Amino acid sequence: MLLAALASIFETASDIGLEVIVVDNNSQDGSAEAVANRFPQVILQANRQNTGYAAGNNQALSLAHSPLVLLLNPDVLIPEGALQTAVKFMADHPDAGAMGAKQLYPDGRLQRSVRGFPTPIAVTWELLGLSRLFSSSKVFGAYRMTWFNYDSVIEVDQPMGTFLMLRKAVIEQVGMLDEQFTIFFNEVDWCLRCKRAGWRIFFSPDVTLTHYGGASTSQVGPAMAWESRRGLLQFYAKHYRAPLYLPLRLIIAGASWPHAWLQARRQVAPGVAGK
């Protein structure tokens, strides 16, 4: 998938002056060697240990020189014109600190790839099931944006980090990814800091790509269920520390761990995958 992603980039966007950086987090399948052999123009950082998703991205960010930086997962295919459209969007929106794209599964189904910030009240609606009962409500569906149809340009809180174009000036202003969020919620935290600094974040359906989804995390699926909940609680510990939020934080913490346990059980149980 990594080789296919790189091929799609160079085949469709060589006209915009690319600087492509790959950070290999100590993979054991020959990925680093394959990249070096097939794409010698890539700046390759082959780590001797897995430093985590956030730290790996920060390695790349520290090497990037362009005024625009795209964080891109390896299980993505870039179609013709997508990167050019994204670059033009950022040029046309100088107040945009970041932007996300429309993501499709390989069979063409829409992937819901933007969310609101996981505020205590928004996540409470999730835990109570109100976001499913009232999926068209902007109040109860605030976190997963269940009401949004992905057909229009809209200002959002947090696009999925699979494809996240950032303005280098904003990175220099608010900092890189917080490495305490090893796998999950690092881009959520970054987007919150971006918006608090006065920048806007957009989703554009004019940039569409194919995303296989979970290619890396599925290799250690049950562990990722626990890591996701831990990331959420770390996010709360950082951004919602006021005594006012303590009751909600306790409720969410109490509900999160059983939810993670059930999710992990589903991922290891035979015959459950894909249901």
Instruction: Report angle CA 28, 32, 37 to the nearest 5 degrees.
Output: 135
Nearest to 124 by CA among 261, 247, 40: 247
CA distance 114 to 131: 15
Query: What is the phi/psi pair of residue 96, to 5°?
Result: -85, 120
β-pair partners for 201: 98
Answer yes or no: pTM beyond 0.85.
yes
| Nearest-angstrom CA–CA distance, 186 and 196 | 15
Model pLDDT, residue 92: 98
Q: How many CB atoms lie within 10 A of CB 67?
A: 11
| pLDDT of res. 124 | 84
Sequence spans of domains, the chain: 1-112+153-215, 116-149, 216-269
pLDDT at 263: 62
Which sign, positive or negative, has the C-alpha torsion 155, 161, 163, 164?
positive
What is the predicted pLDDT for the residue at 260?
59
DSSP 140-194: TTTTTTTT--S-S-EE-SEE-TTEEEEEHHHHHHH-S--TTSSSSSHHHHHHHHH
Which structure tokens are listed for 170? 């904003």
Number of other CB atoms surrounding residue 242 within 10 Å: 8
Tokens at 116, concatenated: 């609101």
- pLDDT for 60: 96
Residue-wise pLDDT tens for the chain (275 aa)? 999 999 999 999 989 989 999 999 999 999 999 999 999 999 999 999 999 899 999 999 999 999 999 999 999 999 999 999 999 999 999 999 999 999 999 999 999 999 999 988 898 888 888 999 999 999 999 999 999 999 999 999 999 999 999 999 999 999 999 999 988 899 999 999 999 999 999 999 999 999 998 555 444 456 666 677 778 888 988 998 877 777 777 777 676 666 656 665 665 443 333 32
What is the structure's pLDDT at 114? 97
Give first-to-last CA distance, the chain, whole Å.
24
pLDDT of residue 227: 76
Cα–Cα distance for residue pair 56/273, rounded to 1 Å: 29
Give the architecture (CATH level 2) of 1-112+153-215. Alpha-Beta Complex (3.90)
Report d(CA 31, CA 49) in Å as an integer. 14
On whether the CB atoms of residues 51 and 24 are closer than 8 A, the answer is no
